[in-house]
Structure 1
């Protein structure tokens, strides 16, 4: 990857090998989500100021948003978060309790203004792709949905090689929105999910956001450094602001529970942590190049190309070393480039 001065700080350019690993991560992410009952969304990169006023971002988050742009006399902002757009999809029709829960996910690119002094490689950037999901459910479905979200998050992290996961549960602060009964149920469901999975966790009393309690999942990398990954966050604010409802069994309108959930967080940051964790020697399923075909001499080059083609036909990521060098030099280069098989 690189950051180009002509484009701007904190804006990542993915090069071929990094882009290939990113594609592998994202393809795996989508398959796991479809298997777990999620549907995919794609949403715009910009939205009118009115959207961000209703969501509260202009009141509480504007210092982290890029400057507005004028389009046809209307004020627009690039999105710092995906949530308000998922809300718009929900508002596009009326839902019955029979249609809930809804599980919607998106690999959505967002833009947040970070001061130049805190930008750091892939770990702190200004434009990044967030693996966001939102779950809309009834009160009766809350506990099961949270339980499944925690299991899903842990399974995803462990698949990528992060088995040392700790959790932090943040509860209701003094100033909060939403009914106390909902806070109690939401917090209880989060704690119950953690206990059922046997995860050690710390409780941050009063440390939750004003709009809902949350779980933060953190991992330790190969150097024993802790990083925040997944988040499972209730939001009692946005459903109120956008007046979200569903029709219950009684024929009346009710407010759905909304759970915001991210498994990997920023794809850029996750890729940076993953690279450091494996020191560039990715497991075979993640390696950008799984096999290097090495002909002994130019006489074997044609056959090497046939082998390469056969491997590609089986979806194996491969290349041929066509350089006119000794075999030892070719093997050394493949080894230094951390290619698993030669």
Structure 2
């Protein structure tokens, strides 16, 4: 029979296992036996210690820590792409909107950066996520009241400028505080450095007595997503793609040349002959139908002019009637302007010998020359 202490131990393990949702048995390994803490929706932490047992001859760990806390290979999905990374697990975060989640129990009472465990130095935290800040609860005396502070840090000078946040008072044995990162902590900048510290209060006076410096974190915006460039084709894909592409290009070039040759053929007769398509380059001869239209239009215009003239109206013409306009060249020709050139106006005594010029009359040599040329043409 089991002793009373054994029954009590089994009952405690059963109650602890029941408090953890979706806990499954897992293979035995060193990390799976690490104690871990689960946080409920009320913020109260519960420490769970895994138990190693044997089921059907197989070594099994009951209430082991989740793989997200103890694993070294992590798979994450971001913007629809699955990435795999190895190394230290990322900073523990709440898995629900109410701040509930889990993290590994911190054991760093005398190590580097004691008593802090997470986050790591230089960790980047993004707005919209709740992170767990953890420390070793055994570092402080029992019933010690502490607060967690965050101070803005000048990255160039290392000087603390102002306070970013401060938690409510809590007992140090909780060993954690959840930080809800918000964009307000960035103060309009792309990133801000914050130095963490734990402040222990004097149990008697309530004043701050001890300051335990912690890691420096950075609150920054989520980095812009850049899709990785597609890998160039290689192997069989390259052997098939290259001939296909070059074949298509050659086909397009040859087809374009044949089409141009067919549609842009120039005959020699089109250039040399004036009787086939025109009287000159770029000025084709009007067709028969076009000439008929122009002739009918001219006939209609003439008919309208006759009707207007018969009615006593005046017909408009683009060119003036030179018969009714007097000559305006007398000023330029002088005495030659009114000189008749017809033979009937010749004076007797011209070159034909029919008469001689009258005495005292001046001979017109220009008129005689014109008359001589007319006689020679006859």
Question: Shorter-chain TM-score: which interval?
Answer: under 0.3
Q: Give TM-score scaled by structure 2 length.
A: 0.21
Greater RCO (Cα-Cα under 8 Å, separation 6 or more): 1
